Structure 1
Amino acid sequence: MGVGSYPLLLLVLIIYLISSLGTGIKDEPVAPIEALNVQKIVLTDEGFTLKVLNSGPDEATISQVLVNDAFWNVEFHPSATIGRLAQTEIFIPYGWVEGDPYEIKLITANGLIFSGEVAVAAKTPVPDGNRVAQYALIGFYVGVIPVGLGLLWFPFLRRFSDRGMQAVLALTVGLLFFLVIDTFEEGLELGAEAPGVFQGTGLVWFGALLSFLFLLALDQANERKGSASGKKIAYKIAGGIGLHNLGEGLAIGAAFASGEAALGTFLIIGFTLHNITEGIGIASPLLKERPTWRTFLALAALGGGPAIVGTWIGGFVFNDTLAALFFGIGAGAILQVIYVIGKMIVREAGKNGRPAVSWTNFASLTLGIALMYATALFVSI
């Protein structure tokens, strides 16, 4: 055993002594410290099934359950006592009415109250073949089709001069800048809803930082082998946008799973309009190349296909903690793409003896942000 292991052994010994002997302070806490999180509420013909997580420091026991302020007999699986970071399921035999709202309160043995809400009662969808196909079609409408339609602008964009191509790249930066802000906001909102023990908002920042650094290291490794082609950069843009569209699918799937079909339909229309501009950004690095139709199909699938996966996750297994992490990873990927395109603009401007931050590029960047903002007005989450 090496000398370097001694500090670790001493650390383990100290933690053991503190946990077994205590600190010597005998004061009892003024109030019990408990934290229960209702992870999911499943509605079936027989009633409600709640999946509850104990994110507090100690075990907690649920003594009573209320549905709309009425006490109700329930069944616990495996137990009413939940250990730290453990889960239990609560089955409530209740004749709910479709479309009605319900509030379910959990009262612990210490008298603390935790609640879960069903905004609009509707039977929770099960992942059968029909539902899986329906969600896949929704994701295809929201992701693949609008991105593909945006890519159809490629022949028109190729008519631009070098200065026009620079402006298109600046426009892409504006589009992506709006997306990265939007992605961070959505991730932080979900992270705040996640159980505190999992540090949901922290996961957004960690995911963004690590994905940005990972892609940056990968990009630098490729640069040592040769300069990155426009096709590679287009695939990077499509990948970053795809992660963002996965988040959009999460929102749509969660809306349908919670019974808010009207909201889900509105989101489909809004995101479809919103995502058409993304295809323009993906096509911009290809303006000096001659891509084949297979390249465009692959880019449309990479940029829009994750919306299908996101709709499945949101509709069947939505989880605030994982969703916050996904949004963070997506934001980091988009930031890295902005960095790469920014380098392209500076490099190309230097070759032509023009400033990278020209009035034309500034106007194009502003237009990109304005376009995304205008189309985002069709979306309300």
Structure 2
Amino acid sequence: MTSLVEVVVIATIAGCATGLGALPTLVTDRVSHRVYDGALGLAGGIMVGAAVFALVLPGLELGTPLEVVAGVLLGGAFLLVTNAVLPHLHLWFRDDRLEGTTVLEPVGGNSGSDPSPTTVRRGETDDTDGRADSEDDLRRAALVGSAVTIHNVPEGLAVGIAFASGETALGLAIATAIAVQNVPDGFAIAVPAARAGLSRSKTLLYTTLSGGVPEPIAAAAGFALVAVVTGLFPIAAGFAAGAMIAVVFRELVPSSHGHGYADTATATFVLGFAIMLIVDTTLAV
């Protein structure tokens, strides 16, 4: 039988896969609106797919629809309350300033009215509007990060429960599926964080911690308290699903439809949902 230490190590590796999603932000600080909107759409589709296939359906298998629905409603309410208390996130930063705010700059210095060629550049300070946009991006990153962190708790519990039941192969399959899911989840956190001007090192660190901390803790709890945790899983899974769905429709969808590339964002959303369908069915999680 797999030991508690082994379960924690496996869950930690799966959780830290969120950091892989931040790697593209280390390569470039110029992201076109089309790419940015498409990335948000892709992340939104994957998050909704993860909510449905990795949380709601497993929750229904271990509990009643009422328990899952209650969790979904609580999760959605939690996200909206969290959004309400994060409007002044910039006050947490030194000198009442972010590490760098962003401006929209035409490629090649074009100053025309066509918004198509604009790019988002990290670490440049503009006027009040630029700072407001940067603060909004940081708040968005915090909301997505909190939803992803919450989402990792029931998935960590699932890993611990699977290993505690003696199903080592199932535990490894779940951990692998989680690791795959966590990469685009990390990207969903990193893109708005990088756009807000957060340094590359902090973007990578915070993105990695969003999965690397809750995942092993929850897996250890699920492994050690399998009887108790199994009863709580349906509500916990519903809660995480509700938070993820709420952040997608509160933040990612509106943000990806504001620059004239709604069709691109919609197409990538559908693609992200399809990716999660393939991942979960292929890995039988």
TM-score (norm 1): 0.56
Partner of 1:173: 44
Q: How far apart in 1 are the matches of 2:180 and 2:82?
A: 33
Change in 2 beyond 3 A, CA 1:249/1:221 = closer
Which residue in 1 is equivalent to 2:253? 342
Residue 259 of structure 1 is matched in structure 2 by 166
Residues 1:210 and 2:74 aligned together: yes
CA distance in 1, matches of 2:177, 2:239: 23
Matches within 5 A, 1:197-276: 201-223=65-87, 228-276=135-183
Report the RMSD for the aligned CA atoms in angstroms.
Answer: 2.5
Indicate yes or no: 2:196 matched with 1:289.
Answer: yes
1:312 matches 2:220: yes
Cα deviation digits, residues 199-218 of structure 1 (max 9, x gap): xx322212221221232133
Alignment check: 8 A CA contact 1:242 1:304 kept: no
Aligned position for 1:142: 14
Q: How does 1:41-52 map to 2 (within 5 A)?
A: none
Per-residue CA deviation, residues 273-297 of structure 1 (Å, 9 max, x unaligned), is 3322222222222342322213421
Distance, in Å, in 1 between the alignment partners of 2:61 and 2:27 is 39
Aligned pairs, number: 237
The answer to whether the 8 Å contact 2:143/2:247 transfers is yes
AA in 2 matched with 1:163: R
Q: Specify every segment of 5 or more residues in structure 2 that has no aligned partner in the other structure, as ranges.
A: 91-131
The corresponding residue for 1:360 is: 264
Q: Is the 8 A contact 1:172 1:368 kept in 2?
A: yes
1:298 corresponds to 2:183? no
8 Å CA contact 2:59–2:233 kept in 1: the answer is yes
Provide the C-alpha distance between the structure 1 equivalents of 2:238 and 2:28, rounded to a whole number of angstroms: 32
1:188 has 2:60 as partner: yes
How far the C-alpha of 1:299 sits from its partner, in A, is 2.5
Query: CA separation of 1:362/1:271 partners in 2, compared to 1, >3 Å: closer, same or farther?
Result: same
Query: What amino acid does structure 2 have at the position aligned with 1:140?
Result: T
Contact 2:79/2:147 (CA < 8 Å) preserved in 1?
Answer: no
> Which structure has the highest helix share of the two?
2
State the shift of 1:330 in Å: 0.4
Distance 1:224 1:156 in 2: 29
Distance 1:224 1:271 in 2: 32
Corresponding residue SS for 2:283: coil
Percent identity over paired residues: 27
Q: With the length of structure 2 as denominator, give the TM-score of the two structures.
A: 0.73
